[in-house]
Amino acid sequence: MRQLEGEPTARKVRTLAAITVGNSFEWYEWAIYGIFAPFIAAAMFDRADPVSALLSTFAVFAIGFLMRPIGGIVFGRIADRRGRKTVLIATLLMMGTGSMVIALTPDFETLGVWASVVLLLARMAQGFAHGGESATSYSYVAELAPPQKRGAWSSYAYVAVLIGTIGAFVLGVALTAVLGQQAVADWAWRVPFVFGALGSFVVMFLRSRMEESEVFTEQAHAPVTQSATAPPRRLFRPVATGIGLICGLTVFQYTWLAFIPTYAIVHQGVSADTAYLALAGAQFIGLFCLPLWGRLGDAIGRRPVFIGWAVAVAVLQIPLVALAGQSAWSLFIASTVAWVLATATGALQAATLAEQFSTRDRTFGIGLAFSVSVALFGGATPYLNEYMHAHGVGVLAPGWVIVTALISGITAWLMPERRGADLADVGADAVRHTEDVTPTREL
């Protein structure tokens, strides 16, 4: 357990707090775009065709996702060579700058199509930053944790996701309740982007005081051998495992984060403040489940949790979506069940991904696997859902969630179980297990 020996508890807490708070702001800034999509569509695109404007808004959302693999690869390689801290500061700077640009860009009536172009460029920059942030923070938290508690510690990476998205929903409720939906549509939708940008710049100071993880420091001072540099063919299996694991959660999460609010508001007539409040409450309940799922993963392993989650989603997704469209209370109940399910694999994704890669390639590998999975599967999810509902085939939308969940379940069944393994001993294609690790099938 070399990564924690001799390190004061206060330092670990400060480091974990700096990562979690910064990651929360990045997820907040990422989430507010999807949450305020109906208002952004009216402001930044031609409002003469509301359906096309909304589809264009979600298309920009998807294009931002396409930048995440590039950011994950570029920042991942920098983090593995130069350190995690440098990247975690740079990603906050890019994300905050992107939010400020979105907040200050004039609307379509003033700039015409250039408003849409600036919005697209800002989201591309944010997608690039987000790809690097996710991979690097996952690596850092997993390397900081005691091996036997890695699942519980790494659950805080997803705590940051929910804190950020809950903050976005709460601000949406407050703005629409205090100012009214018309004021939000006219100008107040920009306020959350300003808040996110300022918060990111403040948290940069906290991260500037962090130190590198001990696992990375040891690796950085070790001599580079041929076996330590993983060629592409040796990274194929762990990257493929990561993509398969994350695709289901990504589609499930963005269905309930970015599309369901719009579905409730646009297609079911639920008021914006009511929809935001219901979804924020659901995520708040899910927040408390994260450490429990993390501890369960430490106790029984990652594979059973992922497989159980996949089966539950396959069974429940269709009735949950049907329930969500009936009333505000049914939206709250359905969303609560969905987010409790999402936290099961969300709590373990950072630890599980980190356990697939060597320290020298961990951030690069996580960035590639996570970002490709999110770009291919998650980025298109709000667009596909909206397209199917707009063209009268919304009944088919849950199938996308179910298929990807089953892919994740099958991947978990095939992957090696590395619960409790020392991350310093994990290679790109093999791991020297601790005595409590159960041999399993490998991809």
Question: What are the extents of the domains in the chain?
Answer: 9-212+230-425
Structure confidence by residue, pLDDT tens digits, 339-361: 999 999 999 999 999 999 888 88
- Average pLDDT value for residue range 190-205: 92
Question: Does residue 271 sit in helix, strand or coil?
Answer: coil
Are the beta carbons of 181 and 56 closer than 8 angstroms?
no
Mean pLDDT, residues 121-140 taken together: 90
Q: Give the pLDDT confidence of 219-275 residue by residue, as tens digits.
A: 665 555 444 444 567 788 999 999 999 999 999 988 887 778 777 877 777 877 788
In this predicted structure, the answer to whether residue 439 has a pLDDT above a threshold of 50 is no
69 compared with 407, residue with greater pLDDT: 407
Give residue 442's pLDDT: 42
Q: How far apart are CA 263 and CA 324, in angstroms?
A: 9
Q: Which fold has domain 9-212+230-425?
A: Growth Hormone; Chain: A; (1.20.1250)
pLDDT digits (tens, 9 = 90+) for 266-302: 777 787 778 878 888 898 999 999 999 999 999 999 9
Please list the residues that pair with 431 across neighbouring strands: 426
Mean per-residue pLDDT, 117-125: 92
Q: Which residue has the higher pLDDT, 396 or 433?
A: 396
Task: Give the confidence band of 415 by pLDDT, cuts at 50, 70, 90.
Answer: very high
Q: Phi and psi of 397, rounded to 5°?
A: -60, -40
Over 60: is that where the pLDDT of 434 sits? Answer: no
Q: What are phi and psi of 105, to 5 degrees?
A: -75, 130
Yes or no: say if 419 and 151 are a contact pair by the CB < 8 Å rule: yes
Separation between Cα atoms, residue 43 and residue 110, nearest integer Å: 10
pTM score, whole prediction:
0.77
- Rounded CA separation 419/301 (Å): 6
Residue 164 and residue 134: Cα distance in Å, rounded?
13
> In this structure, which amino acid lies at residue 250?
T
Q: Which token pair is 380?
A: 């298109």
**DSSP sequence for 409-442:** HHHHHHSPP-TT--GGGB-SS-B---TTPPP---
Unique residue bearing structure tokens 């694999």? 345
Do residues 116 and 207 lie in contact, with contact meaning Cβ atoms separated by under 8 Å? no
Structure tokens at 75: 């920042």
Residue 9 has pLDDT above 70, yes or no: no
Three-state SS string over 336-398 comes to HHHHHHHHHHHHHHHHHHHCCCCHHHHHHHHHHHHHHHHHHHHCCHHHHHHHHHHCCCHHHHH
Q: What would the pLDDT profile of 16-34 be if each residue is shown by its tens digit?
A: 888 889 999 988 988 888 7
CA separation for the pair 32, 281 (Å, rounded): 16
Eight-class DSSP state of 83: -
C-alpha dihedral sign at 364, 84, 158, 69: negative
Q: Tell which residue, 382, 168, 179, has the closest CA to residue 275.
A: 168
